[in-house]
């Protein structure tokens, strides 16, 4: 399971992708529309800003906006930023690798092999899920 922090981040980013051409959006607005605790959302957006996913503007008429194009931000990036590893086991993680105490030989471990395949498929799907595509898919589903 993803953390709530990560889920909130994703919803906030999709919201900001919808408003990509409308200038900075207040934290307050996102928090209300998406039912996210405002102070918690503050911390999340700040982290996304420090990671150059979002930009911000202080003061009146301030707020947050997508720093990158909606087609350039995908779920894989966001999850890695918020929650860390995507793989289910440390020994198959690309970004957070840690060796396994339990297995004698990592190269031939059948468990590692199975979870490696899960990781590959997950990364393929999450990496292909851009904010752009999520919005487009939403439009299609709403059309039915």
Residues in the site for DNA, rule: CB under 7 A? 3-5, 8, 24-28, 37-40, 42-43, 45-46, 49-50, 56-64, 83
Decide if residue 142 touches its own copies (CB under 8 A): yes
> Is there a contact between 7 and 40 (Cβ–Cβ < 8 Å)?
no
Q: How far apart are CA 40 and CA 73, in angstroms?
A: 22
Q: Which does 122 bind (CB under 5 to 8 A by kind): DNA, its own copies, none?
A: its own copies
Q: How far apart are CA 56 and CA 90, in angstroms?
A: 34
Of 26 and 57, the one with the shorter C-beta distance to its own copies is 26
Q: How far apart are CA 10 and CA 83, in angstroms?
A: 12
Contact string 92-111 vs its own copies (x = CB under 8 A)? ---------xxx-x-xxxxx
């Amino acid at each position: 399971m993803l953390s709530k922090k990560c889920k909130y981040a994703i919803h906030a980013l999709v919201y900001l992708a919808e408003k990509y051409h409308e200038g900075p959006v207040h934290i307050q607005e996102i928090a209300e529309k998406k039912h996210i605790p405002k102070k918690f959302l503050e911390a999340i957006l700040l982290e996304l800003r420090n990671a150059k996913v979002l930009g911000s503007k202080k003061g009146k008429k301030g707020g947050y906006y997508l720093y990158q194009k909606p087609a350039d931000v995908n779920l894989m990036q966001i999850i890695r930023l918020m929650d860390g590893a995507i793989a289910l086991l440390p020994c198959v993680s690309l970004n957070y690798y840690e060796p396994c105490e339990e297995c004698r030989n990592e190269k031939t471990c059948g468990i590692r092999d199975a979870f490696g395949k899960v990781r590959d498929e997950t990364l393929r799907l999450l990496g292909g899920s851009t904010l752009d595509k999520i919005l487009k898919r939403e439009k299609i589903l709403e059309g039915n």
